[in-house]
Amino acid sequence: MLGTLMRFLPIITQIFLWGAVFSALPTGNGSEGRIVGYSYHDMVAYYLLTMLSRAFSSMPGLASGITREIREGTIKRFIVQPIGLLEYLFFYRLAHKLVYYSVAIVPFAVVFYLCRGFFQETPHGLVWATYIASLVLAFLLGFFLEATLGLLGFWFLEVSSFLFIYMLLSFFFSGHMFPIDMLPEPMATVVKLIPLQYLAYFPAAVFLGKVQGAALVTGLLVQAGWVIVFAFLAQVALRRGLRHYSGFGG
């Protein structure tokens, strides 16, 4: 619990950093300075919201756990036992998240309460519904994406370098440091095409009303599409991998 609260400490620096950035913006005709449509309050709210997105989408230890099972050979229990590996991991992860966040909700609530001033308007019912849908999809996407990466272990045995690249890319391109709209072209277009933005950026942008109307519907559909793609890839990787698998270890 103390650990979770500590994870919020960087928020302090971020709030002041953005404060400093926005205070230096040229403000014409009395309007508040904005960066790609985000006011100072939006920016801080955005940062807080991506922390929430990542609470859903980040899967610490999932991929490396799968590779370890492959390397050490313990994965064969899933061959002989009547449970699917992906199903087992999925419900394990779900339960873990539920238990963890039923406790961690307290520090989250405290932080959001303290920072409530940064949320200028609360979204109406429909936005709430789509927001929650996008969070659930973010969880699913995070799970299947990392599971696929972990299952690559059938062919590579050590996937930590893949994971590192994944972590690095998602640090920058999932938008958890800043809204990805800030990226210059052509990077912004590329980033909008790859699935990483749905792990952090998209839910937060939905909540703040940055994505509306048709774009909202398309975004949600594309997000769901990516979930299906990676769920499929994970299944294929598992099936092919098990055929490839030669059972190392005891």
Partner 1 sequence: MPQPLRYLQIFATFARNSLIRDMTFRANFLIEFISSLSWVFMNLGFYILIFHYTPSLGRDTGWGKYEFFVFTGTALMINSLAGMLFMTNADNFGELIRRGGLDFVLVKPVDTQFLVSLQRVDWSSSGNFLVGLGLAVYSLRCLGVWPSPVTIVLYVFYLLCGVVILYSLMFLLAATAVWLGRNETLFDFWFYIVSFGRYPMEIYEGRFGRPFRWFFTFIIPVLVAINVPSRFLVQSIRPQSLEEWLLPLYTIAATVIVFAVCRAVFQLALHSYRSASS
Q: Which residues bind partner 1 (CB under 8 A)?
A: 2-3, 6, 9-10, 12-13, 16-17, 19-26, 35-36, 161, 164, 168, 171-172, 177-178, 182-184
Q: Which CB, 122 or 161, lies closer to partner 1?
A: 161
Nearer to partner 1, 24 or 126 (CB): 24
Which structure tokens are listed for 65?
């756990």
Shortest Cβ 25–partner 1 spacing (Å):
6
Nearer to partner 1, 114 or 129 (CB): 114
Q: CB of 180: closest distance to partner 1 in angstroms? A: 10
CB of 17 to partner 1, least distance (A): 6
Closest among 243, 241, 249 to 72, alpha carbons compared? 249
Name the minimum Å distance from CB 137 to partner 1: 26
What span, in angstroms and rounded, lies between the C-alpha atoms of 71 and 249? 7
- The b/e string for 226-247 (b: 16+ C-beta within 10 A; e otherwise) is bbeebbebbbebbeebbeebee
Nearer to partner 1 among residue 35 and residue 127 (C-beta): 35
Q: How far apart are CA 116 and CA 85, in angstroms?
A: 41
Number of Cβ within 10 Å of residue 174's Cβ equals 26
